[in-house]
């Protein structure tokens, strides 16, 4: 049952990522720094667990389990990575009203962020805009 729930949550998170990749939600301003240093960060008081779907250095989206906040993932994007985006979905509930913020940094500069508030069910969703590296 837990494996099925994770699969459902992963698919839901992937839908959020694909929605975040719509033309209106992409920061098309050029990456003037030329930096490929990427950092995803989630902060806040959300006490539940999260499933993060994010562009990583494996040329694909990666599903990452986050047990507690704060959380971060840092890597240097290889040349084949053109766009970075992350989204998070609650996998175990926190408390209603708790918040979390997902931020994406490129070269130490924040390029995207999104904040969510847990619903009465205790679940939360976080999305942010995709960012084009090239």
pLDDT tens track, the chain, 134 positions: 555 555 555 545 554 444 444 444 444 454 556 789 999 999 999 999 999 999 998 878 999 999 999 999 999 999 999 999 999 999 999 999 999 999 999 999 999 999 999 999 999 999 989 999 87
Q: Kindly list the domain boundaries of the chain, sorted by start residue.
A: 2-132
The model carries a pTM of 0.79
> Quick one: how many helices (H) and strands (E) in the chain?
1, 11
What CATH architecture is 2-132? Sandwich (2.60)
Cα separations (Å) of 44 from 28, 87, 119? 28, 15, 15
Work out whether strand 130-132 and strand 26-27 pair parallel, antiparallel, or are unpaired. Answer: parallel
Whether residue 7 is preceded by a cis peptide bond, meaning omega within 30 degrees of 0, is no
């Amino acid at each position: 049952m837990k494996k099925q729930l994770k699969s459902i949550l992963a698919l839901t998170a992937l839908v959020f990522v694909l929605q975040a990749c719509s033309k209106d939600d992409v920061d098309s301003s050029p990456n003037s720094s030329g930096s490929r240093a990427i950092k995803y960060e989630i902060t806040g008081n959300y006490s539940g667990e999260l499933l993060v779907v994010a562009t990583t250095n494996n040329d694909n989206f990666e599903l990452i389990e986050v047990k507690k906040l704060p959380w971060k993932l840092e890597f240097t994007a290889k040349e084949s990575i053109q766009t970075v985006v992350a989204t998070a979905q609650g996998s175990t509930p926190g408390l209603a009203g708790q918040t979390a913020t997902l931020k994406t940094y490129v070269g130490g500069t924040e390029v995207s962020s999104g904040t969510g508030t847990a619903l009465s069910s205790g679940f939360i969703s976080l999305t942010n805009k995709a960012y084009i590296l090239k």
